[in-house]
Amino acid sequence: MKLSPHLPLAALAWATLTLPASAGVMHDQNVTPDVIFGSGNVNGSFTVDRNNGVELGMRGKLRHNASGAPENTFNSNGDGTFSFNAGVAPTQSSPTPEWSVEWSINTNFDGTSGWNLNDLTYELGVDSNPTSATTFSTFDPIFGANGSAGSRVQWDHAIGNNLTGNGDGTSIPNASNDEPGYADLIDQNNVAQQSWKAHWYGISGFDPTIDGTYDFYLAAFDDTTEVARTQIQIIVGAGGAVVPEPGTMLSFAIIGLIGCGPMSRRRR
């Protein structure tokens, strides 16, 4: 929505507060072709963007239930947010939370783009600020260095194509030191998926025991042009403390000035 310069100040302030969200993102979706990492992981509950033949999906997941086991429980609120309990995960040590973030990249989900994974670049944004404000760090989850393996580029993602079945993705273990094999996989395939725990993302000072709100986004680029983007929010406990955005504070200030109106000096 564009804001008209002719709107009254009160209307301008209200419009600023009610800007619509992106219309291209859909919630509680399946990803294409299926969930191809691990075994026993079901499809569904992904927040998905499908644009330019590219499908990007993200979701939260209950990684450690009361017994410490993974569970196909996603706690989606139907709007791109996922809610989980604060605390160290059962049977785990700090800073492991009960939840994880799962993502899926398909560069040719409907057969129209012709792209494989190595034809695009990517950006994964990770919010380290537990309040409602965001502090993002970013990296490329396909071409960026694998932090657990030094500077080499060889992730253990599950990789496949539009015919790969549930749990049947191909992964190269980090310890195998097979960068050429990984390069071949992303050159010949269009699907990559991964499931990561919060502290694996390198969130600085992450404390699973405090209430917080964490944002994550995933974007794909053809050269410098963004072709698709999805994002989710993990709400831990009651969520993070609300921090008013500068624009919101300005809007309230404008409304306050309007409410004051002209004042005349009282005569004695």
Closest CA to 31 of 65, 50, 57, 4: 57
What residue spans define the domains of the chain?
Answer: 25-252
Read off the pLDDT of residues 4-57 as tens digits, 9 standing for 90 and up. 333 333 333 333 333 333 448 999 999 999 999 999 999 999 999 999 999 999
* The pLDDT value given to residue 265: 40
> What residue type is assigned to position 205 of the chain?
G
Q: How much is the pLDDT for 98? A: 98
Rounded Cα gap, residues 137 and 124, in angstroms: 8
pLDDT given for residue 18 in this prediction = 34
* pLDDT of the residue at 234: 98
Q: Give residue 87's identity as a one-letter amino acid code.
A: G
Is 26 buried (19+), middle (13-18) or exposed (0-12) by CB count in 10 A? middle
Checking 160-163 for CB contacts under 8 A at 24+ apart, the result is: 160/33, 160/36, 160/189, 160/191, 161/33, 161/189, 161/190, 161/191, 162/32, 162/33, 162/106, 162/108, 162/109, 162/111, 162/190, 162/191, 163/33
Q: Which two tokens stand for residue 229?
A: 């983007």
pLDDT of residue 256: 53
Q: Which residues of 29-40 are buried (b: 16+ CB within 10 A; e: fewer)?
A: bebbbbbbbeee
Exposed, middle or buried: residue 148 (CB in 10 Å: 0-12, 13-18, 19+)?
exposed
* Residue 56: both structure tokens together: 């990007």
List beta partners, residue 138: 125
Residue 199: its pLDDT value, please? 86
pLDDT at 22 (0 to 100): 42
Distance CA 23, CA 21 (A): 6
In contact, 132 and 213? CB cutoff 8 Å: yes
Question: Which pLDDT belongs to residue 84?
Answer: 98
Which residues of the chain are modeled with pLDDT < 50? 1-23, 252-253, 257, 260, 262-268
With tokens 């190269």, the residue in question is: 172
User: Could you tell me if 79 and 70 are in contact, meaning their C-beta atoms sit under 8 angstroms apart?
Assistant: no
Q: Residues 157-180: pLDDT tens digits?
A: 999 999 999 999 999 998 888 999
